[in-house]
A = this chain, B = another copy of it.
Amino acid sequence: MDVRVGVIGGGQLARMMIPAAVELGIDIAVLGEADDVSARQAVTQVGDYRDLDTVLAFAATVDVVTFDHEHVPQPLLRELEARGVAVRPGADALLYAQDKLLMRERLTALGLPVPDWQRVTTAEQIDRFVADHGGRAVLKTPRGGYDGKGVRIVHGSADAQDWFDDFDALLIEEAVDFTRELAQLVARNPSGETVLWPVVETVQQNGVCAEVIAPAPRSAGRVSDVAAEIALAVAGGLGVTGVLAVELFETADGRVLVNELAMRPHNSGHWTIDGSTTSQFEQHLRAVLDLPLGLTGSRDAWSVMVNILGGPQDGTLPDRYPAAFAAQPGVKFHSYGKTPRPGRKVGHVTAGGDDLDDVAYRARAAAAQFD
C-alpha cells in the first residue's frame, strides 16, 4: 500500500506531523488555508475547509482524513462519512470537542468529574448561578472558543448580554479554585488500542499554554491514576480515534476535574517529539491509520517544553539561532515557519534531563533567546 494521510488545516500541528510521516514513509497531504501556512511543505490543495466540494476533492486524494483543528462543521463531517470517507476522529466524537455544552452533558452522563455547570438561556439563570457560586462564575460560548477566546469571568448577567446575540444557550461553570492545571494525553486507534503518556503540568499565560512539565511534579500515584482513568474513559466513551488531550484542573480540595478536550495533537504533548519513545505526531498517524501504537516511555526523567510566544519582532526565529544554539547546545529548537507577531505561537523549545530545576532553567533560557 502507498498510504496517504490527509490533514485538514495547515497550522503547526499539521506541520509537526510531516517529520513523522517522512520517517515512516507515509505520504501526507494538507488542505491549507493558504499556500504559505505553517505546514506549507505538505500543502497539496488550498481552500476553505467549510466548503463541501473543496473538502470532498481533497478527501478523494487520500486514504484517511484527519485534522489540524476542530473547526470543520458537523454537516460537512457527516457528509464525508456518508460518502464513505474515513474521517478520524469521526463526527460523533468531534462533536464533543466542538460544542462545550454537549461535552459537559456527555461527560456528566459518563460520570466523569467536571466543574459544577449549567446550560443557561436567560439573564436570570446567569444571575442565579453566579449568586449560588459566591458572586463569580466562568461563562463560555458553546462553540468557537480556543486559546482563551470564548471564555470570560462574569459577576452577573450584565457581563454576558452580548453573547446572547450570537448564541441561544451558553455554558456557565463554577470558577474552579484550582492549584494547577494538568493535561493527560492519550492515543486510541479504531481497533480500540489505547496508550497514555505521563500526565503533565501545564502553565497558562493569558489563556495560552506557555510551559509544560513532564511528568507533572508530585503526580505519582493517585493524581496520575485518576488522570489516566479519566482520559481512558473519555477516549473510549466518546469513541475518539487519534490523539486526545484532556485538560484537567487539580483543585485545592484534591479533586481532578475535566476542563477541556482536544481531539488532535496538542500543545501539552509537544515535549513528546524529543522526550518520548513515540511522539504524539507519529502516534496520531499510527492511530488514524489503525496501526499498532508505539511505546510512550519518557527519554528523560524530566522534560520541559516552553512555547516561543511572539518571537523576535525584528526578524525570524533562525535569525536568533547563532546565539541560541551557542547558549543551549542541548536544547531542541522547533520553529513553525510563521511570521513573528505578539502573542503568536511561533515555535517551542524542549529540554530534558535528571534535575528538574536545571531542565526548566535551560528550557526557559533557550526560549528567552527569542524575546
Interface residues of A (CB under 8 A from B): 1-3, 15-16, 18-20, 22-26, 41-42, 273, 277, 286, 291-295, 297, 299, 315-319, 321-322, 325-326, 329-330, 332-337, 347
Contacts and interface: CB of A to CB of B under 8 A. Distances in A.
Given A19-B23, A24-B333, A299-B299, A2 B325 contact: no
A335 B24 contact: yes
A24 B297 CA distance: 24
A279 to B, nearest CB: 10
Contacts of A15: 22
- Copies held by the complex: 2
22 contacts: A15-B22, A16-B23, A19-B20, A19-B23, A22-B41, A24-B318, A24-B321, A25-B317, A25-B318, A25-B334, A25-B336, A25-B347, A26-B318, A26-B335, A277-B330, A277-B332, A286-B325, A291-B321, A291-B322, A292-B326, A292-B329, A297-B330
B294 A325 contact: yes
Contacts of A334: 23-25
Contacts of A293: 325, 329
B335 A25 contact: yes
The 3 closest A-B pairs by CB, nearest first: A25-B335, A19-B19, A292-B325
A330 B282 CA distance: 13
Contact of A41 (B41, B322, B329): B41
Contacts of A1: 315-316, 318-319
Nearest to A25: B335
A317 B334 CA distance: 29
Contact of A273 (B23, B322, B326, B333): B23
Contacts of A20: 19
A310 to B, nearest CB: 15
A49 B345 CA distance: 39
Contacts of A292: 321-322, 325-326, 329
Nearest to A293: B329
